[in-house]
Amino acid sequence: MSKELDSIMRPQSIAIVGASSKPGTVGNEIVSKLKEYGFAGAMYPVNPKADEICGIKAYKSILEVPSKVDLAVIVVSKDQVFGVIDQCNEKGIKGIVVISAGFKETGAEGVKREEELLAKVRQYGMRMVGPNCLGVINTEQGIKMNATFADALPLAGKTAFTSQSGALGAAILNISKDLDLGISQFVSIGNAADITTETLLDYWKDDQKTEQILLYMESISDPQEFSRLAKQVTKNKPVIAIKGGRSAAGASAASSHTGSLAGADLAADALLKQSGVIRVNSLPEMFDVAEAFANCPVPKGKRVAIMTNAGGPGIMATDAICENGLEIAQLDEETKAYMKSYLPEAASVKNPVDMIASAPLEHYQNTLKALIKDENVDAIMVIYLPLMNLDPMDVSKVIMEIKAENPEKPIVGVIIAKNGFFTRINKIEKNIPFYQYPEPAANAMSKLYAQRVWLERPEGREPSYQVNKNKVTEIISSALKEGRSQLTTLESIDVLDAYGIRTCKYAFAGTVDEAAGQANRIGYPVVMKITSTKISHKTEIGGVIVGINSEEQLRNEYNALLQRLKDKNLQDGFEGVIIQEMVKGNREMVCGVATDPQYGHLMMFGLGGIFVETLKDVAFRVNPVTDIDVKEMVQSVKAYKILQGSRGEQPANIAQIEETMLRLSQLVKDFSFIKELDINPLKISDKTGEGVAVDGRIEVKFDEARKALSGLNLTSSVSS
Amino acid sequence: MSKELDSIMRPQSIAIVGASSKPGTVGNEIVSKLKEYGFAGAMYPVNPKADEICGIKAYKSILEVPSKVDLAVIVVSKDQVFGVIDQCNEKGIKGIVVISAGFKETGAEGVKREEELLAKVRQYGMRMVGPNCLGVINTEQGIKMNATFADALPLAGKTAFTSQSGALGAAILNISKDLDLGISQFVSIGNAADITTETLLDYWKDDQKTEQILLYMESISDPQEFSRLAKQVTKNKPVIAIKGGRSAAGASAASSHTGSLAGADLAADALLKQSGVIRVNSLPEMFDVAEAFANCPVPKGKRVAIMTNAGGPGIMATDAICENGLEIAQLDEETKAYMKSYLPEAASVKNPVDMIASAPLEHYQNTLKALIKDENVDAIMVIYLPLMNLDPMDVSKVIMEIKAENPEKPIVGVIIAKNGFFTRINKIEKNIPFYQYPEPAANAMSKLYAQRVWLERPEGREPSYQVNKNKVTEIISSALKEGRSQLTTLESIDVLDAYGIRTCKYAFAGTVDEAAGQANRIGYPVVMKITSTKISHKTEIGGVIVGINSEEQLRNEYNALLQRLKDKNLQDGFEGVIIQEMVKGNREMVCGVATDPQYGHLMMFGLGGIFVETLKDVAFRVNPVTDIDVKEMVQSVKAYKILQGSRGEQPANIAQIEETMLRLSQLVKDFSFIKELDINPLKISDKTGEGVAVDGRIEVKFDEARKALSGLNLTSSVSS
């Protein structure tokens, strides 16, 4: 991979095809930016009508360029692109950046044009950035390539950055300079026909100049590949991403609980989480977090010490630190005693350490050193609010000097001063990040800590259980044969059972007499549930009757149910009832699987029963999930406390619940055409603590399922 | 009120007692700031050793000042303050600002000193700002008073501002100038011995130069008074507040559900909400919101139109607008058709309107005018991301010109440019707020809308129900006589019943035979609940047995319960059981009352049962509550959907539930010594939709209750 992208990102020679001598045109901007930024290699503007552009000799055609060319930056009109690429091939060029627009972004015809373009590029063994992009930048000494038409000359640094929006990319480059955020490489991927965010993750993984990666994404073209690569990269370099479209009307027509809760963004959010990507939701947050990573080690833990010269900001910082999931460090007694020795009486040596308004530089020095030494402190926020006595630059320099000698703990500066201070501090070399207010600082610190959690997170495994795959195949085939994509409750429970998921004892009964017989066999109390091919939410028609204590009661309820169906004209599809063991317990969870058109199977776990859709106390992950993913899902819902038995109940068997999720994961990996699956409720037995599937719902994609199972030729009639 | 504070805020003459000619001292800074800022009245520095200070004639003592003095700013040492105030009185001065520190903030002795100071001030009929404060500012022409030692000369404007933290006040004044946020008046209240935030709310209510009010608070000294005044002010002027200490370890020792959920900040948050105060959580948010209110009318609704020259920021704006509870406006077909007439084909005329990168000024003009005209649009966000073609200043000016002609709708500008742009735009007169990113703009817009909601909110009333107050008095007296502050379940339910709250049928039974008799009378199924003076969470010892269907079962359960008590050595305090009607329904809510030491009674409503403390789906308000407060509480919890019957259940009787809350409110108003009260669960009957109190817990403050009820001399033994 590396070698292939080098022709684009580390070229020794660039041809600019469509270069122009007319200022204000893209073809002119590219050449002038390349020149202005000091490209270290050879530049060959190509224009049939010009002899020189921006003072550089121009060529009528790329074929006339006398030397080898590594990269062609193409800015001709969309129709001319194809011919230019043919010539590039003839010339032996392997790297292409297509700035030209007029492809996928313009509709159906453009999509076709882009497909043809990609085919050509693939055929020639080239790699291409674009089309419809802003260009590429590499700030490295010895390369110094700014092949964009953005109005920005970014500073060199350790941050690689790719943007799916060219304009936003330009804005970020522009503002990054204000903020002293140095860039290693920048790629505007445009329509991302060939080179995508994933390609760049792979390339930057090994780039020595790149220590962190920023992504602006509006979609993830290959979620599985993204996740695979991101998992690798993030163990070495933080990846900070904006994924736009969080609120996109995910009005999915899915009818299941899991489906209706799994909006488009939940899938993206889950994928980023599982991949160790640090998600941010705005540009300023991205800048703030990037600045923290650029200037801080990853902390060992989440205990933060605050030192300040004013109480108010100390309170605000405490609030922000707690709200960001970090902790206020309990300072060592020795630290406090030491601080008492030099701080005035009115000062507070309890965290937040308030050195009061009169604090001289020396107090900043002593206190910072003491907090660095304190083993109860993982990270430090130094606040200075300019009062009459000290210049904020002097305070900042003192902090940075101490940081230079003590690089091990993250230190962030919060200087509540006018913008002018930040202009000044950004002009000197920094080794800590500076913020104007405590809140963005606390947020950035929480992301540093999130990276620690990620680094220490075990990789996890996807266990493989002994299951009865054949039985599932049989059940689904049988339903398909009847033209159904929706399994009955009975079939659904049998499928779960075949995969070793704890379901409760049940039996099917087609008549009231059969029902009585089965109930007598299972033992009262029992639950009676309708099974019908037409009804998916049983409770709404009173199709679930619990706590049936006698045969007489059972017969009455059965007849009443039939009457309700008749009244609502829903007899059609009625098959009978399931008589089920009544699992005692009032904790009801839900687990399920939904299918996202782009991300595939989404696993869900959370609080079940009547609360699922109201309280939305659920967690999602993109399948495949590991044991660690599942553990995190279970722990991440608020109802986890209920599972632990927070109010005196029997603690749930968490390991068994996690296994249930992993077995579900295996089920939908094996039967990828399962569209939706709900276990609601997964009832926690008061007796054993186990999660027991007392109801199930499975729907398959009819055509896909038929195709997948057609080779099996299951002719035998299947009963269950 | 006005007149009294005028001597401080609108003085014609100021004596600075403790003025100093030594630069860098507070006594010098005050005089030089007053002079530098151009105070319009007379200044009299007072210093026994100086003839002139900062070029102004100085006096040995305030008594030597030849003319009338309105305001004395006192910067002498803490011990000298008293003598100075005596002299001020002699001189007839009514306004005092005590900058001097060394009072309440320094501990017990300081508290006493401050009490003495206040007593003196009151005795002399003076009003005082401070002690331990930064000073006061009034920017009004004809006054121009900057009597602070803050390193800031704020711009004149329409925003009044008070800070409980002097340092933070200074920082805000300092930064406000960067941001072009003009101040009308500023008061650093310091220890707020006399003049508090409440005093200032009252004063600024009628100040014609003040159009909005900013508060930085660390505590609210008189919550009831604050609420009363804020409710008045906020109907005319937005009040934007930071209340620090959100995360303060509210480790309350309260044992009730309501108590343990009601952290200190919940009370403050509820109070601000009920009073129409717009709460913000950081300084930048405060600035952003203040800028919006300073430059925007309050919108009619929450439908926002976005216009942009780049897709990425449009997506980010959409996300931010939705996440802030606003809506993306559905544009009128006519608007879209019109925009189509001049925008290029690649543009999108659907909201967000993407005019694409090439958009000239004219497109900004036409589109903005069209959106202003569109009746489906309540507010407009105009985004410009500088690309090659337009200067952001030109875009901004065009927007402002159109705004000037069309003042009726809020328009906010989002200019994704470097800081330099903001420096430039802040130097000219603006009529719309400008933000660098969409997120703070969307947040500010949501606060504008919140103000609309507040303005249209009915005032609400506190209904008074016919209740049996005597019965409650009797029950509580009886418990007190037994030395109990905790009522039994039975007593608690009787209290609720006496206040007309729907409780379920029950009876007390002291023996197993009595229990059987009562159950036979009430009718099976019944619930049996332990009553004990020692056990407060009954479920933890299995003290609530539901679904008892027969006498035999009842006797078995009763005996088993006694055995459990013995096993755990909890017989002591056991009184018997309550046999209760079993209300059918699986929706369990909670309502309750907790007591905050400062805010008084806090009302709670939310999701009950085993979920109360785990899911925390509860709302709080400070009592007294109005019918509107209660309505908002009920609607604000997620479980409201469950009450509405979102999944086919019988809709709950919301009016009856609201009334339950109002009756509770009346109960704790009448019996203010009630410390904690829980109704958990308030079960929603499937049959009637009513909320039925099936369990209750009431605890009173023993000494207070005894004192309050002692006059009643209830000697009769009370049974219930």
Contacts of A261 in chain B (CB under 8 A): none
B227 inside domain: no
Instruction: Give the ranges where B406-507 is alpha helix by DSSP (H).
Output: 419-425, 438-456, 469-481, 489-498
Contact A319 B246 (CB under 8 A): yes
Diameter of chain B measured on Cα atoms: 101
Note whether B419 and B311 are same-domain residues. yes
The rounded distance, in Å, linking the Cα atoms of A644 and B191 is 46
Q: What's the pLDDT score for residue B247?
A: 64
Q: Shortest Cα distance from A61 to chain B (angstroms)?
A: 28
Q: Which helix (H) or strand (E) holds B319?
A: helix B311-323
Note whether B577 and B592 are same-domain residues. no
The rounded distance, in Å, linking the Cα atoms of B507 and B523 is 12
CB B15 within 8 A of CB B65: yes
CB atoms within 10 A of CB A35: 16
Q: Shortest Cα distance from B311 to chain A (angstroms)?
A: 7
* Residue A319 one-letter amino acid: D
| For helices A333-340 and A361-373, angle between their N-to-C axes, nearest 10 degrees | 170
The rounded distance, in Å, linking the Cα atoms of A264 and A284 is 24
A498 inside domain: no
Residues in chain B where the model's pLDDT stays below 70 = 1-2, 246-264, 388, 537, 540, 647, 711-720
Note whether B597 and B576 are same-domain residues. no
State the best of B261, B416, B553, B637 to mutate against chain A, taking most chain A CBs within 10 Å: B416
Is pLDDT at A527 greater than 70 in this prediction? yes
Terminal Cα distance for chain B, rounded? 52
Is pLDDT at A648 greater than 80 in this prediction? no
List the single residue in B24, B311, B419 with the smallest CB-CB distance to A165: B311
CATH number at residue B641: 3.30.470.20
Q: What is the pLDDT of residues A10-43, one digit of tens each?
A: 999 999 999 999 988 889 999 999 999 999 999 9
Q: What's the pLDDT score for residue B106?
A: 79
CA angle B702, B707, B710 (to 5 degrees): 115
Q: Shortest Cα distance from A587 to chain B (angstroms)?
A: 9
Paired with A414 in beta bridges are A383, A435
Q: What's the pLDDT score for residue A2?
A: 56
Q: What is the pLDDT of residues A670-681, one digit of tens each?
A: 999 999 999 989
The rounded distance, in Å, linking the Cα atoms of A12 and B248 is 60
CB B48 within 8 A of CB B61: yes
The rounded distance, in Å, linking the Cα atoms of A475 and A485 is 11
In angstroms, the Cα distances linking B667 to A108, B100, B258 are 69, 46, 16
Instruction: Out of A387-391, A498-502, A515-519, B182-186, pick the least confident.
Output: A387-391
Q: What's the pLDDT score for residue B717?
A: 40
Task: Pull the structure tokens for residue A119.
Answer: 């085919």
Q: What is the pLDDT of residues A308-353, one digit of tens each?
A: 998 889 989 998 999 999 999 999 999 999 999 999 888 889 899 9
Residues A173-190: what's their mean pLDDT? 89
CB B49 within 8 A of CB B109: no
> Is the CA virtual torsion A31, A33, A38, A41 positive or negative?
negative
Note whether B112 and B172 are same-domain residues. yes
Note whether A575 and A614 are same-domain residues. no
Q: Tell me chain B's radius of gyration from C-alpha atoms.
A: 32
B-facing residues of A in 209-248 (CB < 8 A) are: 216, 218, 242, 244-247
Q: What's the pLDDT score for residue A307?
A: 97
Task: Pull the structure tokens for residue A484.
Answer: 């159904």
Residues A430-444: what's their mean pLDDT? 96
| Cis amide prior to A299 (ω within 30 degrees) | no
The rounded distance, in Å, linking the Cα atoms of B100 and B102 is 7
Q: What's the pLDDT score for residue A248?
A: 53
Note whether A629 and A577 are same-domain residues. no
DSSP state of B80: T
Is pLDDT at A135 greater than 90 in this prediction? yes
A237 inside domain: no
| For helices A469-481 and A702-710, angle between their N-to-C axes, nearest 10 degrees | 120
Note whether B452 and B521 are same-domain residues. no
Q: What's the pLDDT score for residue A388?
A: 67
A486 inside domain: no
| For helices A81-91 and A108-123, angle between their N-to-C axes, nearest 10 degrees | 10
CB A497 within 8 A of CB A503: yes
The rounded distance, in Å, linking the Cα atoms of A37 and A241 is 27
Note whether B84 and B144 are same-domain residues. yes
| Residues near B372 by beta carbon (within 8 Å), at least 6 away in sequence | B380, B402, B406, B408, B409, B411
Contact B174 A357 (CB under 8 A): no
Q: Concatenated DSSP letters for A417-447?
A: --HHHHHHHTTS--SS-EESSHHHHHHHHHH
The rounded distance, in Å, linking the Cα atoms of B367 and B342 is 9
Q: What's the pLDDT score for residue B244?
A: 82
State the best of B161, B614, B680 to mutate against chain A, taking most chain A CBs within 10 Å: B614
Chain A residue closest to B646 (CA)?
A614
Pairing of strands B303-308, B353-354: parallel
Domain boundary among A566, A581, A596: A581
Contacts of A587 in chain B (CB under 8 A): 610
CB A414 within 8 A of CB A436: yes
Smallest Cα–Cα separation from A636: which of A664, A653, A616?
Answer: A616
What three-state secondary structure class fits A95? strand
- Which residue matches tokens 């299941």? A256
What three-state secondary structure class fits B547? strand
In angstroms, the Cα distances linking B170 to A255, A312, A352, A677, B134 are 57, 11, 20, 59, 8
The four Cα atoms A491, A497, A502, A504 give a dihedral, to 10 degrees, of 40
Taking the Cβ of residue A97 and every Cβ of chain B, the question of whether any pair is shorter than 8 Å is answered with: no
- Which residue matches tokens 């605890």? B699
Contacts of A319 in chain B (CB under 8 A): 244-247, 281
Q: Which helix (H) or strand (E) holds A464?
A: none
Note whether A197 and A85 are same-domain residues. yes
Terminal Cα distance for chain A, rounded? 52
Structural domain span for residue A36: 2-210
Q: What is the pLDDT of residues A235-275, one digit of tens each?
A: 999 999 998 876 653 233 333 444 444 456 888 899 999 99
Q: Shortest Cα distance from B245 to chain A (angstroms)?
A: 6
CB B376 within 8 A of CB B329: yes
Is pLDDT at A463 greater than 60 in this prediction? yes
Q: What's the pLDDT score for residue A263?
A: 52
Residue A381 phi, psi (nearest 5):
-110, 120
Q: What's the pLDDT score for residue B716?
A: 42
The four Cα atoms A350, A351, A354, A355 give a dihedral, to 10 degrees, of 80
B490 inside domain: no
Q: What's the pLDDT score for residue A258?
A: 47
What three-state secondary structure class fits A380? strand
CATH number at residue A320: 3.40.50.261
Give the number of domains in chain B: 4
Note whether A612 and A565 are same-domain residues. no
Q: What's the pLDDT score for residue A264?
A: 62
pLDDT range class, residue A711, cuts 50, 70, 90? low
A220 inside domain: no
Q: Concatenated DSSP letters for B53-66?
A: ETTEE-BSSGGG--
List the single residue in B322, B586, B616 with the smallest CB-CB distance to A610: B586
Q: Which helix (H) or strand (E) holds A280?
A: strand A278-280
Domain boundary among B194, B210, B226: B210
A334 inside domain: yes
- Which residue matches tokens 């009231």? A512
The average confidence (pLDDT) of chain A is 90
CATH number at residue A559: 3.30.1490.20
Note whether A14 and A163 are same-domain residues. yes
Taking the Cβ of residue B325 and every Cβ of chain A, the question of whether any pair is shorter than 8 Å is answered with: no
Q: What's the pLDDT score for residue B129?
A: 97
A265 inside domain: no
The rounded distance, in Å, linking the Cα atoms of B271 and B221 is 12
B-facing residues of A in 470-499 (CB < 8 A) are: none
Q: Which helix (H) or strand (E) holds B239?
A: strand B239-243
Contact A437 B282 (CB under 8 A): yes
Domain boundary among A581, A598, A633: A581
Note whether B564 and B615 are same-domain residues. no
CA A527: distance to chain centroid? 41
The b-or-e profile of A224-249 (16+ CB within 10 A means b, else e) is ebbbebbeebbeebbbbbbbbbbbbe
Taking the Cβ of residue B648 and every Cβ of chain A, the question of whether any pair is shorter than 8 Å is answered with: yes
Task: Pull the structure tokens for residue B477.
Answer: 């007296």
